[in-house]
C-alpha cells in the first residue's frame, strides 16, 4: 500500500495539472471502488475549479471552489496518471478520468479496487469518519518528541505496532516504520510505553528524516506504485534494513560473517526488519 511519501509525491505531481484549473469532464466508469461513489459524483465535479491540493495521512484532498473536497485514497494498488486528453484509450482499471480545461487528463487506475473517492464539505472534513481519529502529521509542526511520547505513554504493544496505529502518528506504514526505528536505534520489540524522553526525541527526528528523504526520492516503488508521470520512485534503493534480511546494515559489522546481519521477524502479521546489534 502506498504510504505517506508515495501519497505526498502524487499530490506534488498533481498540483501543476490541477491547482487553479477547472474540471470540464468527469468519467466515472464504475459504480464503486472499496465503497460506492457519492450520489451524482461526476455531476458534482464537472465545472468545478480545484482551488488547491493537500494531503492528510495517506489521503489526497482536492479542495473545490464550491466548498466541497474530493477525498481520495489509493488503496493497495491505485495510482494517478497525468497525460494529454485522449492520448490513451481508457484501460479496464481506469475507473475515474478527470479532464481539465487545459486539455489534460488525470486517471485513477486501481487494479484491486481497494481505493476510494468521496465528496465532503470542507467544514466537515476534520470530522469525516476516515480522518477524525488520525494522529499528528509526522512532517507537521505539531509533531515532536514530547508529542510522540505522550501518544505512546501507557501503551503495552511493541513500538513497531504502535507506530502503525494511525491514531499515534498519521501516515506511517510498514516500510518507513522499520527504517525509522533503525535510524533511531530502537528495537521494534521494545515496549511502546518505554519510548520516552531521549528515545522519543530520536525516534521523532528519525521519522521526519526518513520521510523527507523518501519524498525527495519519489517514494518507494513496490508492485503497482508509480508517480503521476509514470516514473518509478527509487527510495527502495536507499533502504537501510527493509527487505534486506541477512545483509549487514549500513555502518555496522553485524553481517552474516559475524553471525548476524539484518533480521526479519513477523509482528502483527507484518514483516519487520531490524539490526539486533544497533537497535535496543
Does the residue 138 lie in any domain?
no
Domain coverage including residue 105: 4-127
Q: Are residues 33 and 70 in the same domain?
A: yes
Q: Which of 3, 6, 68, 179 is catalytic?
A: 3
Q: Which of 48, 55, 56, 58 is catalytic?
A: 58
| Residue 161 confidence (pLDDT) above 80 | yes
Does the residue 216 lie in any domain?
yes
CB 255 within 8 A of CB 261: yes
Q: Are residues 67 and 155 in the same domain?
A: no
Q: Are residues 168 and 104 in the same domain?
A: no
Query: What is the CATH classification number for the domain harbouring 183?
Result: 1.10.8.50
Q: Are residues 119 and 159 in the same domain?
A: no
Does the residue 184 lie in any domain?
yes
C-alpha cell read off for 150 = 505522550
Does the residue 242 lie in any domain?
no
270 is catalytic: yes
Whats the size of the chain, residue-wise? 280
pTM for this prediction: 0.92
Specify the number of domains making up the chain: 2
3 is catalytic: yes
Does the residue 132 lie in any domain?
no
Q: Which of 150, 244, 264, 270 is catalytic?
A: 270
Q: Are residues 122 and 197 in the same domain?
A: no
213 is catalytic: no
Considering only CA atoms, which of 136, 240, 151 is closest in space to residue 200? 151
Does the residue 252 lie in any domain?
no
pLDDT of amino acid 257: 60
Average pLDDT over residues 23-47: 97
| Residue 259 confidence (pLDDT) above 90 | no
Q: Residue 66: which pLDDT band, with cuts at 50, 70 and 90?
A: very high
Using alpha carbons only, what angle is made at residue 231 by residues 81 and 204, rounded to the nearest 5 degrees? Answer: 95
Residue 194's contacts (CB-CB under 8 Å, 6 or more residues apart) are none
Average pLDDT over residues 22-41: 97
102 is catalytic: no
Q: Are residues 220 and 152 in the same domain?
A: yes
Q: Are residues 112 and 184 in the same domain?
A: no
Q: Are residues 11 and 120 in the same domain?
A: yes
Does the residue 14 lie in any domain?
yes
Does the residue 254 lie in any domain?
no
d(CA 249, CA 212): 20
Amino acid at each position: 500500500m502506498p504510504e505517506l511519501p508515495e501519497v505526498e509525491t502524487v499530490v506534488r505531481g498533481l498540483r501543476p495539472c490541477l491547482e487553479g484549473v477547472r474540471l470540464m469532464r468527469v468519467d466515472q466508469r464504475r459504480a464503486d471502488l472499496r465503497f460506492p461513489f457519492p450520489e451524482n459524483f461526476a455531476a458534482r465535479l464537472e465545472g468545478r475549479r480545484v482551488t488547491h491540493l493537500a494531503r492528510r495521512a495517506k489521503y489526497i484532498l482536492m479542495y473545490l471552489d464550491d466548498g466541497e473536497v474530493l477525498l481520495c485514497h489509493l488503496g493497495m494498488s491505485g495510482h494517478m496518471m497525468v497525460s494529454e486528453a485522449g492520448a490513451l484509450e481508457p484501460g479496464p482499471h481506469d475507473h475515474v478520468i478527470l479532464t481539465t480545461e487545459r486539455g489534460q487528463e488525470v486517471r485513477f487506475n486501481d487494479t484491486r479496487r481497494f481505493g476510494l473517492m468521496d465528496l465532503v464539505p470542507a467544514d466537515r472534513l476534520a470530522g469525516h469518519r476516515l480522518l477524525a481519529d488520525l494522529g499528528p502529521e509526522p512532517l507537521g509542526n505539531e509533531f515532536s518528541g514530547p508529542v510522540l511520547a505522550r501518544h505512546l505513554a501507557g501503551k503495552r504493544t511493541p513500538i513497531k505496532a504502535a507506530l502503525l496505529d494511525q491514531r499515534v502518528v498519521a501516515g506511517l506504514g510498514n516500510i518507513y516504520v522499520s527504517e525509522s526505528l533503525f535510524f533511531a536505534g530502537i528495537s521494534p520489540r521494545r515496549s511502546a510505553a518505554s519510548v520516552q524522553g531521549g528515545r522519543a526525541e530520536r525516534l521523532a527526528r528519525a521519522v521526519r528524516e526518513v520521510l523527507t528523504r523518501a519524498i525527495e526520492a519519489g517514494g518507494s516503488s513496490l508492485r503497482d506504485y508509480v508517480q503521476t508521470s509514470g516514473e518509478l520512485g527509487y527510495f527502495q534503493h536507499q533502504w537501510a534494513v527493509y527487505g534486506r534480511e541477512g545483509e549487514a546494515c549500513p555502518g555496522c559489522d553485524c553481517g552474516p560473517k559475524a553471525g548476524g546481519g539484518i533480521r526479519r521477524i513477523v509482528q502483527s502479521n507484518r514483516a519487520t526488519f531490524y539490526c539486533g546489534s544497533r537497535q535496543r
